[in-house]
């Protein structure tokens, strides 16, 4: 009887020690602005999630885990999960990385007139290309036509489409699509013969095929099982997506 009681107590102690919790938190910039699309990694489990547009995240973990926060253009931050983080959200502030800009040679003296002086400067080609790429990226992200088919390439089948998500959800479909792009990477879609410019359109096509994501949008969290479900849906939809273009 004593050995049986000891076994039961040991079992509950083991379960308590290894119980999995969820850590909630928020990531902001130096200016206290909410930061979306920050990758959060649990180093122990290698689980990865992405912050939503309000900077919030939820990731499985427990006391003692080490979380790493990564975003291009910002310094990487690591934080150890404490008991307080289990009971209350963890707040993370990311700092911008120092960026060296190529020296600009001024061939003419400045006149003081901004319109005239800017024409005399010769910015490095790398700086000009960076500005151009950023302008294109920002335009695509804010333009709702990014999900539309290009003339002559693809015609979206008629149907009910897919909903953006309920107002009280932590995510909408755009947040989910951005997460999938980050989690899977462009190379995953390139291997399926999907160009970078068509990745978001293709993801929208897969979601419109009836991919169940109500729980994902509600909690703003994607499990490994959800990610595998999406990849299976990709394999089921890729043929019908590409068929009109191959005729």
Q: What is the pLDDT of residues 190-244, one digit of tens each?
A: 999 999 999 999 999 999 999 999 999 999 999 999 999 999 999 999 998 987 5
**Is the distance from CB of 64 to CB of 42 less than 8 angstroms?**
no
Model confidence pLDDT, tens digit, residues 178-196: 999 999 999 999 999 999 9
* DSSP-assigned letters across all residues of 72-137: TTB--EEEE--HHHHHS-EEEE--BPP---PPPP--S---S-HHHHHHH----HHHHHHHHHHHHH
pLDDT given at position 5: 44
pLDDT given at position 101: 59
Length of the chain: 247
Q: 212 burial class (0-12, 13-18, 19+ CB within 10 angstroms)?
A: exposed
Cα 107 to chain centroid distance, Å, stands at 43
Backbone angles phi, psi at 172, to 5 degrees: -115, -175
**Is the distance from CB of 40 to CB of 50 less than 8 angstroms?**
yes
Q: For the chain, percent helix, then strand, then coil, each to nearest 5?
A: 45, 15, 40
Count CB-CB contacts under 10 A for residue 220.
22
The model's pTM is 0.36
Angle at CA 94, nearest 5°, toward 92 and 100?
170
pLDDT given at position 8: 47
Tell which residue, 42, 47, 36, 37, has the closest CA to residue 85. Answer: 42
Backbone angles phi, psi at 27, to 5 degrees: -115, 130
Domains and CATH numbers, the chain: 20-93 (2.60.40.1120), 145-246 (no CATH)
Chunk the chain into consecutive blocks of 10 residues (it has 247) and report each block's average pLDDT, rounded to whole numbers.
49 49 91 94 93 93 92 91 85 84 60 63 68 70 53 51 62 92 92 91 92 92 93 92 65
pLDDT given at position 122: 60
């Amino acid at each position: 009887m004593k050995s049986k009681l000891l076994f039961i107590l040991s079992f509950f102690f083991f379960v308590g020690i290894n119980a999995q919790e969820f850590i909630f938190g928020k990531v902001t910039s130096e200016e206290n602005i909410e930061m979306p699309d920050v990758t959060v990694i649990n180093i122990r489990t290698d689980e990865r999630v992405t912050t939503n547009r309000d900077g919030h995240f939820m990731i499985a973990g427990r006391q003692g885990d080490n979380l790493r926060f990564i975003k291009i253009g910002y310094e990487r931050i690591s934080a150890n999960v404490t008991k307080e983080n289990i009971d209350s959200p963890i707040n993370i502030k990311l700092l911008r990385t120092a960026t060296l800009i190529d020296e600009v040679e001024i061939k003419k003296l400045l006149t003081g007139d901004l319109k005239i002086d800017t024409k005399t400067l010769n910015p490095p080609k790398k700086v000009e290309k960076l500005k151009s790429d950023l302008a294109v990226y920002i335009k695509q992200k804010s333009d709702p036509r990014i999900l539309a088919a290009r003339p002559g390439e693809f015609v979206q089948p008629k149907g009910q489409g897919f909903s953006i998500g309920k107002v009280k959800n932590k995510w909408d479909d755009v947040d989910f699509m951005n997460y999938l792009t980050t989690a899977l990477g462009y190379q995953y879609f390139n291997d399926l013969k999907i160009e970078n410019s068509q990745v978001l359109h293709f993801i929208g096509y897969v979601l419109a095929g009836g991919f169940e994501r109500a729980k994902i949008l509600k909690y703003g969290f994607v499990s490994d099982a959800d990610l595998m479900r999406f990849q299976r849906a990709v394999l089921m939809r890729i043929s019908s997506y590409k068929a009109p273009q191959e005729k």
